[in-house]
Amino acid sequence: MAAESHLDEPLLLRGGSFGDVSFWRSCLNLSNVISGVGLLSVPYALAQGGWLSLVLFAVVGAVCYYTGELIARCMRAGGDDIRSYPDIGYLAFGRLGRKAIGAVMYIELYLVAISFLILEGDNLDKLLPGTAVGLPGGYVLRGKQLFTLAAAVVILPTTWLRDLCVLAYVSAVGLVASVALTASLVWAGVAEHGFHAAQDGNLFSLAGLPTSLSLYFVCFSGHGVFPTVYTSMRNKQDFTKVLLASSVLCSLNYALTAVLGYMIYGDDVKSLVTLNLPSGKAYTRIAILTTLITPLAKYALVIQPIMTGIEEKLPPRARQGRLTRAAISTAVLVSTVVAACTVPFFGYLMSFIGSSLNVTVAVLFPCLSYLRVGRVRRRSEAAWIVAILVFGLCVAVKGTYASLHQILSTFW
């Protein structure tokens, strides 16, 4: 398998800092992967599913932690030849598995990158309403399109980085921003609204459950980047500890944000909780500014596998130059900007990503691959994995149908 893996399909992410990243920097990178734009949608997810859906939030978190551990076990089973998610697919299912897992993973990461730019445009437009810039030829850029382009210009230099040691510092900034957002919601509740809007809210809503579950899966996604973090670690045996610490910290912040947002705004909470904050308030400015930092800090880490996958399709000489890396990252960024300006439905897009692609990458593929690799030693574990597969499949089918129906209803 080792020889064929090297010759048949190039492994992902051979360049960069492999084996150089410390425990704490790995914690920063993995926490930054897990804690993302899902933070803004968890109050809306709670409003859709009701208070009892917090139980399902905990279940989703536990499932995603376990499947993350399954990814690490698969990588250990394959040895040094397994450095990426597509490599796991090759180990478990051969060439077809590599292609299938790679395709779904790349599409998922690409759509997540688009959602980052949509988020930037929406929030900057709220922070600076009415802003417009004239261009030669009489064309005027305004609103979300203008700010999406501005965000892309700021993000572009970070996409040229390929060293995860350096990206750890960017990740640290993103994590501070996530905590600051939660603090801003506390400020908003104390200073303006109070924490009583959801007293008469839903205890449980079966109709809103598919959307709620889909958004919860968005919170704990990022499994496509897990092998990148695993491969970069100096001591790979510590990955389980890194995964546990990152999952627990991010879960606490997610849960606190969900409860605060729902208690403040109740069933009127929007798909982006920052859109509920009143204009002109100091805490609104702080919340939006910190929200803007998160995508800036995450974008480069999320598209790393995409860029490296493209690089490895090029001739060996073309891969070495920095200009090649810059050209690829710029092309990927430009394409996501165009898509972000075309599909500005943040909540529905996140729901679709969570129900279809996140569930596939975070639940279905890890379980199927682990079962195929044959490392299951106890029947109870095999039964648990099968139960997770059934649960994930139900969420994927129902959630995808609900999210596509919402998106299509905006056009017809």
Q: What is the pLDDT of residues 56-86, one digit of tens each?
A: 999 999 999 999 999 999 999 988 888 888 9
**Residue 351: its pLDDT value, please?**
61
3-state secondary structure labels for all residues of the chain: CHHHHHHHCCCCCCCCCCCCECHHHHHHHHHHHHCCCHHHHHHHHHHHHCCCHHHHHHHHHHHHHHHHHHHHHHHHHHHHHCCCHHHHHHHHHHHHHHHHHHHHHHHHHHHHHHHHHHHHHHHHHHHCCCCEEECCCCCEEEHHHHHHHHHHHHHHHHHCCCCHHHHHHHHHHHHHHHHHHHHHHHHHHHHHHCCCCCCCCCCCCCCCHHHHHHHHHHHCCCCCCHHHHHHHECCHHHHHHHHHHHHHHHHHHHHHHHHHHHHHHHHHCCCCHHHHCCCCCHHHHHHHHHHHHHHHHHHHHHHHHHHHHHHCCCCHHHHHCHHHHHHHHHHHHHHHHHHHHHCCCHHHHHHHHHHHHHHHHHHHHHHHHHHHHCCCCCHHHHHHHHHHHHHHHHHHHHHHHHHHHHHHHCCC
**Residue 56: its pLDDT value, please?**
93
**Residue 13: its pLDDT value, please?**
37
**Residue 355: its pLDDT value, please?**
64
Cβ atoms < 10 Å from Cβ of 10: 18
Q: Kindly list the averaged pLDDT for each block of 10 residues, start to end, along the chain of length 412.
A: 36 46 88 80 91 94 95 90 89 92 86 82 79 78 85 86 68 78 78 67 83 85 87 91 94 91 86 78 79 78 83 73 81 89 64 72 93 83 93 83 71 62
Burial annotation 242-271 (CB, 10 A radius, 16+ → b, else e): bbebbbebbbebbbbbbbbbbbbbbbebbb
**Residue 193: its pLDDT value, please?**
67
- Give pLDDT tens digits for 184-206: 877 877 777 677 666 666 788 88
Q: Walk me through the domains of the chain, giving residue ranges and CATH numbers.
A: 2-409 (1.20.1740.10)
All residues at 6 or more sequence positions from 185 whose CB lies less than 8 Å from its CB, including other chains: 257, 260, 261, 264, 273, 287
**Residue 58: its pLDDT value, please?**
95
Burial annotation 135-172 (CB, 10 A radius, 16+ → b, else e): eeeeeebebbbbbbbbbbeebbebbebbebbebbebbb
**Residue 54: its pLDDT value, please?**
94
